[in-house]
Amino acid sequence: MGNVGAKEIPQLLSADGRRIDGRRLDELRSITMKVGPLTRADGSAFVEWGENKVMAAVYGPREVHPRHLMQTSKAIIQCRYNMAAFSVDERKRPGQDRRSQEISKVITEAFESVVFTEEFPKTSIDVYIEVLQANAGTRCAGLVAASLALADAGIPMADLVSAVAVGKVAGRIALDLKKEEDNFGEADLPMALVPQSGRLVLIQMEGHMNRDELRQALDLGTKGCREIYERMREALRAKYDTPGRAEPAGVPA
């Protein structure tokens, strides 16, 4: 890393089907989620996903700041995805660039389909996503963190949004690409799912896949999203499960 001269493509898949970090094709990186680390925000969450570290904070519903953005019939959602200067090997020039604007926009749109915005007319729900360390899949990690933060803020939603990236690595469809696989693989497809309804609320792709591969990728991604969804629910429950209190009993997992 940081070795600019080295253009050699690493071997992404070993003979026995293991990936560069030893995972199988359908395996996620390790994930930890913490709900509510920021006490002064209305809601917050910190997600470590592989080598990604992402913090999300939610404020609102509150007064709309640039007043002309106000909508009389519903709340507006304003997401800001931002990468810290130190989040990648080579210093990222601080501030919004085209990439982060795009990601902010697609994440906003993903949430607009689940948040009950009509309940809070003339207000704004502000979501801040800060990427502290990046290793591919930050928009998905950011989406998951923001989703938890929205739930933590008590904002009514149809469901949590879960997200994961799938891709094509050394000719095979793989779940949750890490940096090397993203850089040297053939395709990267981040997606976000509303698990209860099965609706896709974000899907982007870079690279090439044929129709069968795409179908396979979507299936694998859906499976990944559902796995992450369970982790998200656990994380939310963990915030309120004090050791002394009885375990939730009648909740079908």
What is the token pair recorded at 137? 């899949």
∠99-103-109 over CA atoms, to 5°? 150
Among 33, 153, 166, 228, binds another protein (CB under 8 A): 153
Residue in this structure with the two tokens 């071997």, named with its chain if needed = 11
Measured in whole angstroms, the distance separating CA 181 from the mean position of its chain's CA atoms is 18
What distance in Å separates the CA atoms of residue 146 and residue 127, rounded to the nearest whole number?
7
The answer to whether the beta carbons of residues 108 and 154 sit under 8 Å apart is no
| x-marked contacts with another protein along 106-125 as a string, rule CB under 8 A | ----------x---xxxx--
Rank residues 86 and 240 by Cβ distance to another protein and give the closer one.
240
Count residues contacting another protein (CB under 8 A)? 38
- Residue 194 β-bridge partners: 199
Site for another protein in 31-90 (CB under 8 A): 42-43, 60-63, 72, 75
* Cβ at position 40, least distance to another protein in Å: 11
The answer to whether the beta carbons of residues 51 and 67 sit under 8 Å apart is no
Q: Contact between 12 and another protein (CB under 8 A)?
A: no
Among 155, 174, 193, 228, binds another protein (CB under 8 A): 155
Which residues of this protein are in contact with another protein, per CB under 8 A?
42-43, 60-63, 72, 75, 116, 120-123, 151-160, 196-197, 233, 236-237, 240-241, 245-252
